[in-house]
Amino acid sequence: MTYVALPGRPGPRTGLLVRAGPSPPATTLSRVNAPTSSSRGAATGRRATAARTAAVAAADGPPGTASGETRTALVRRARRIDRILAEAYPDARCELDFTSPLELAVATILSAQCTDVRVNQVTPGLFARYPDAAAYAAADRAGLEEQIRPTGFFRNKAASLIGLGQALCEHHGGQVPARLEDLVRLPGIGRKTANVILGNAFDVPGITVDTHVGRLARRLGWTVETDPVKVEAELAGLFPRRDWTMLSHRLIFHGRRCCHSRKPACGACPVARLCPSYGLGPTDPELAARLVTTGPGGAE
């Protein structure tokens, strides 16, 4: 059996072992002493990254895991990562501004393919003009489209908002329902948006699988699934229900600020030594630090 150490983890001098090449059935990840990244040159880093990538690709772990670790080890590692992210992002929260379930529903619909920053610039005037479901139901389409134009896809979004207002008035007394099965039947609201509303407006735990959550779940080796519903189910099995909403916020914060889609800041990542995808981005601490952002970041 051959093992390759994942080198270059910042923080404590520990790394992860992953199987490389032919091997017996899956074994658990083990911690070993590994040198830090500060003394490694670019060439060494590239060779280490290539070795890591090949090793992870060769691992033949059970379905749903990325590196062959046991279920118990996966759960422990996942929950440890969440604890570290909780320390790294103590202010993690929904970054859309709202004061009611309806406002959150509207803001979340507008956030599709748009930054939260831009949505928050548009919604104060929108909420003042359309204070309740009846106002959206009776809205002039052209006027509504013009008001939400800066968020993009304004025609489709306007149709969803008008349909949402009408459905709420016809079936829910003008109020946003607090059940998943009711929410997903409303125009413009899918499972992701429903979980945002439940978790942040009604304190009902839910996992919001947006692009950030899905990407990080795969990079962290929590799942190999790409379908959001399947990713949600996988994550639900790793964490206590009470943690689902905050887990989503932490992953979104981390995805927007550090673990970017194209170029993750691996050398500045607080969970690098627990991540099987370490090395996808720059591992040099100074280079990585330049990639870290402090704001909400890009669109979903």
Q: Within the chain, which residues score under 50 in pLDDT?
A: 1-66
* pTM across the whole model: 0.76
Domain residue spans of the chain? 2-90+210-289, 101-201
Dihedral sign of CA atoms 176, 182, 184, 185 in order: negative
Q: Residue 180 and residue 195: Cα distance in Å, rounded?
A: 7
Residue of 182, 181, 188 lying closest to 148 (CA atoms): 188
State both tokens at 207.
């996992």
- Residue 183 burial by CB count (10 A; 0-12/13-18/19+): exposed, middle or buried? buried
Contact between residue 48 and residue 42 where contact means Cβ atoms under 8 Å apart: no
CATH level 3 topology of 2-90+210-289 = Endonuclease Iii, domain 2 (1.10.1670)
pLDDT at 67: 53
Angstrom distance (rounded) from CA 232 to CA 192: 10
Give the fold, CATH level 3, of 101-201. Answer: Endonuclease III; domain 1 (1.10.340)
Topology match between the domains 2-90+210-289 and 101-201: no
Catalytically active residues, by annotation: 192, 210
- Contacts of 53 by beta carbon, 8 Å cutoff, 6+ apart: 279
Instruction: Give, as one character, the DSSP assignment of residue 150.
Output: G
Q: Taking the mean position of all CA atoms in its chain, how far away is CA 196?
A: 12
For residues 108, 112, 116, 120, the Cα torsion angle rounded to the nearest 10 degrees is -60
Q: Name 129's Cβ contacts closer than 8 Å, sequence gap at least 6.
A: 135, 147
Residues whose CB falls within 8 Å of the CB of residue 240, separated by 6 or more in sequence, listed in order: none
pLDDT for position 230: 97
